[in-house]
Amino acid sequence: MKQVVIATKNKGKAKDFEALFGPLGYEVVTMFEVAPEMEIEETGTTFEENAILKAEALAKELGTIVIADDSGLAVDALNGEPGVYSARYAGDHDDEANMIKLLENLQGVEDDKRTARFCCCIAIAGPEFATTTVFGTCEGVIAHEKRGTNGFGYDPIFFVPSLNRMMAELSPEEKGAISHRGNAIRKLKEQLPNLIK
Ligand SMILES: O=P(O)(O)OP(=O)(O)OP(=O)(O)OC[C@H]1O[C@@H](n2cnc3c(O)ncnc32)[C@H](O)[C@@H]1O
Ligand SMILES: [Mg+2]
């Protein structure tokens, strides 16, 4: 089976990628398998900078083609926060604490002002070509409480109006069909048909 290496240590993200790459005949391999000791510091101030940083660091270490995803949630009422800092919004890399902090910061904000989008930059780096990036977004509304148990991160409080369900109520395949990550991967396939078939 063909393999695709993703520079991530987020199990939820890896599951999203499995749903996207599985149908294309790829086995997803993450840093847990190929570089468990490696820590990549995300020092960039944009999704693109961090995605490139992660993809290039692991590609250099392994000498193979690597994909990385830097993503996050931009909430309009909070001027785009938590944005690039989504993973550590409440200090630690803790999904529960991040959601609680976000709901607290949106207390009293009316439904029509709770619009938000997930953003994803995917970078692909390798020894024989210049690093390329693609973007994907997914529009939604921040709910008032959690619902659903699928997905990861902010999925339980992200309502998807087009499906009338929370992101965490979608199967990995349903999420991939509309998500920021799915939209980015579809662009990557268009741009690099020889690498991602
Ligand atoms: O850097 P890696 O190891 O890939 O894992 P990470 O979780 O730190 O990933 P990011 O640096 O890209 O931070 C992304 C954060 O944005 C949020 N996020 C991104 N995509 C999401 C999604 O599909 N559903 C819910 N939350 C998401 C979630 O809090 C993630 O931890
Ligand atoms: Mg990270």
Known binder of ligand: residue 12? Answer: yes
CB of 136 closer than 6 angstroms to any ligand 1 atom: no
pLDDT at 193 over 80: no
CB of 135 closer than 6 angstroms to any ligand 1 atom: no
pLDDT at 124 over 70: yes
Q: What is the band of 194 on the pLDDT scale with cuts at 50, 70, 90? A: confident
181-194 burial, b if ≥16 CB within 10 A, otherwise e? bbbbbbebeeeeee
CB of 12 closer than 6 angstroms to any ligand 1 atom: no
Check if the interface score ipTM surpasses 0.95: yes
Known binder of ligand: residue 187? Answer: no
Nearest CA to ligand 1 atom 28: 153
* Cis bond upstream, residue 82 (ω within 30): yes
Q: What is the band of 28 on the pLDDT scale with cuts at 50, 70, 90? A: very high
The model scores a pTM over 0.95: yes
